[in-house]
Amino acid sequence: NFHIFHPSLFRRNEGASRVIGTLLGTTDKHSVEVTNCFSVPHNESEDEVAVDMEFAKNMYELHKKVSPSEVIIGWYATGYDITEHSVLIHEYYSREAPSPIHLTVDTALQSNKMNIRAYVSSQMGVPGKTVGVMFTPLTVKYIYYDTERIGVDLLHRTRASASRTNGLTTDLAQVASAAGRVQEMLSTVLSYIEDVLSGKVMADNSVGRFLMDLVNKVPKITAEDFESMLNSNINDLLMVTYLANLTQAQIALNEKLVVL
């Protein structure tokens, strides 16, 4: 049975096996892009599932005021498998979106990572008689912006911390860390080239073509010109920082004078 009820629920009830929610995003002819989501309270038992659809409707109406371009494209659930209740929930979202997708997120880390799988449903069976639903897997591709990658890398570094915490680094420290990684990669490339030249390792033509493309993409500039350009950019950055701090100090001084 599939029930719709109004009372507010917690995000995850005690004893609940999974969490479900609505997926928001955009669609085109060839792909579906998930850009946002929100959880929907629900209860599950052996013979029925109850979902707070009034809550889901209100959340979607509020979200449209902030991001009107994002529409309902499906729903997600934590877990690795698709259950019988998934068919009932998917039936509701079929009324909210054409060909909705179902996303499963393996929070139990059964394969030592948080697998994300996507499905689309299609009917199967004999027309006029017993008709079932089959979930067909889709290709999932992870896309992120550079700003999002910074946050993910910061969270990843907490794995090596005993306290599971990690603070933000300064811009200069970020540049130093990036330069260190580039130097390590260059050292690996040089070691490989030396081993090939000395005969320790067999040459790989595909690697050679990649290295040739990399060398051709590097602009040709003398060390003196590069040093002059770098110093000029640093001076410009320091000037902008100084002017920004000066403006901030002047605003703070004006606020004090107004109060007096």
Instruction: State the CATH number of the domain containing residue 131.
Output: 3.40.140.10
Residues 52 and 163 reside in one and the same domain: no
Q: Are residues 99 and 34 in the same domain?
A: yes
How far is 187 from 171, CA to CA, in rounded Å? 24
In terms of domains, do 195 and 236 share one? no
Count of H-run helices and E-run strands, the chain: 6, 9
- Sheet with strand 2-4: strands edge to edge: 2-4, 49-51, 42-44
Q: Is the pLDDT of residue 45 over 80?
A: no
How many independent structural domains does the chain possess?
3
Regarding whether 160 and 90 lie in a shared domain, the answer is no
Structural Rg of the chain based on CA atoms: 28
Confidence band for 46, pLDDT divided at 50, 70 and 90: confident
- By DSSP bridging, strand 131-138 and strand 71-78 are unpaired
Distance CA 40, CA 45 (A): 16
Whether 127 and 164 map to the same domain: the answer is no
Residue 82 and residue 151 in one domain: no
pLDDT at 60: 92
- The burial class, CB within 10 Å (0-12 / 13-18 / 19+), for 209 is exposed
72 and 123 in a single domain? The answer is yes
With vertex at residue 154, the alpha carbon angle to CA 153 and CA 155, rounded to the nearest 5 degrees, is 90
180-186, long-range: CB < 8 A, 24+ apart: none
DSSP bridge partners of 133: 123
Closest CA to 32 of 72, 65, 79: 72
One domain for residues 29 and 70: yes
For 17, the domain range is 2-138
Of the chain, the end-to-end C-alpha distance in Å amounts to 69
pLDDT digits 0-9 by tens, 89-144: 888 888 888 889 999 988 877 777 788 899 998 877 777 666 677 888 888 888 88
CA distance 50 to 34: 25
pLDDT for the residue 240: 92
What number is the average pLDDT over the span 171-196? 88
Confidence category of residue 14, pLDDT binned at 50, 70, 90: low
Say whether both 44 and 129 belong to one domain: yes
Are residues 134 and 19 both part of a single domain? yes
Question: According to the per-residue pLDDT averaged within each range, which of 8-12, 53-57, 110-114, 142-146 is highest?
Answer: 53-57
Task: Tell me: do 17 and 126 sit in the same domain.
Answer: yes
Instruction: Examine the fold and report which residue of 138, 154, 179 is the final residue of a domain before the chain moves on.
Output: 138
Q: Are residues 45 and 117 in the same domain?
A: yes
How far is residue 108's CA from residue 25's CA, in Å, rounded to a whole number?
26
Return the structure tokens found at 64.
């449209």
Average pLDDT (21-48) is: 86
Averaged pLDDT, 212-221: 85
| pLDDT reported for residue 232 | 92
Full-model pTM? 0.60
